Amino acid sequence: MAVRIGLVGLGKIARDQHVPVLNASPDFTLTAIASRNAALEGTAHFATLEAMLEGQPDLEAVALCQPPQVRFEAAKAALRAGKHVFLEKPPGATLSEVKLLADIARAAGVTLFASWHSRYAPGVEPARVWLAGRRLRGVTIHWKEDVRHWHPGQDWIWEPGGMGVFDPGINALSIATHILPPFFLRDAVLEVPSNRAAPIAATLDAVTEEGVPVRAEFDWRQTGPQSWTILIETEDGPVRLEKGGAELYIGDVAQPLPPEAEYRGLYDRFAALIAAGESDVDVAPLRQVADAYLSGRRVSVDPFEA
């Protein structure tokens, strides 16, 4: 029996990814939308999550696609109403609130899923399998894009809790924490425009327990070609993920991969968790960002206007 699910927030990511995947899914039926400013033809519409929960009492699950600063209250309301909850990335504005949501979900006996869509890029799992047991020499991450192209008019992303360049950068960290041995931050530099609260660029220098360096460079000022690359040097040669994990190279050889299906993978995982009565609340990528904010050096740079 398909799970009846409601979608909260109908912005670009919801329209481009969640809606088409849900409409094609055998595991879910999209029955309601909660959004103040947008509606979906043929689907029940409510202005708020609270109105949706009241108007659709047989709703079983909720997917939350609002900015992270407001997601905690929505997730708490849905969990306490007995609904399974899918959290868009990042799962929250702080580690503490995500931990509390996990506790609430456990007490309510429902599923909480902190989703990391980049882990479901087609090259990521083959890379993880190939790397298993191999000795690493170094890791370099370049995640550089033009914020004016990808996030036009999204002022929330520059506010406290919006994470700035870590909004895309956390995708790289979600892949790295999935395919690499555990690593921890040694140094970080956060470049913050003088008229913004969140960084426009960041450099993170981390290290694994065995001393392997992991360097990540994030920048939202990239023009021309965009860069979403993870290069891993091993004793058996290099492994390179390109285009956010859509392409995988072992040595210089492109590997055959299935078509992109990140959000299909996320919803398959969500369905499996609900069926098993389990949750998946991995905060490892968010912890890396929190460490950067905690111990990184903040450098003021020129004002930025989108």
Which are the catalytic amino acids? 89
DSSP letter (8 states) at residue 227 = E
Residue 82 and residue 60 in contact, taking contact as beta carbons nearer than 8 Å: no
- Beta strand segments in the chain, E: 3-8, 28-34, 44-46, 61-64, 84-87, 112-114, 136-144, 183-193, 201-208, 213-219, 227-234, 237-242, 247-250, 253-254, 297-301
What DSSP character marks residue 18?
I
Measured distance CA(277)–CA(64) in Å, rounded? 19
Examine residue 91 and say whether the peptide bond preceding it is cis (omega within 30 degrees of 0): no
| R_g (Cα) of the chain, nearest Å | 19
For 134, 136, 281, 291, the CA distances from 245, given in Å and listed in that order, are: 20, 19, 22, 24
Q: Give the span between the Cα atoms of 89 and 77, in whole angstroms.
A: 19
Query: Residue 177 and residue 116: Cα distance in Å, rounded?
Result: 11
Q: Look at the block and give the residue holding tokens 């890791």.
A: 139
Phi, psi (deg, nearest 5) at residue 242: -120, 160
- For residues 6 and 19, the answer to whether their CB atoms sit within 8 Å is no
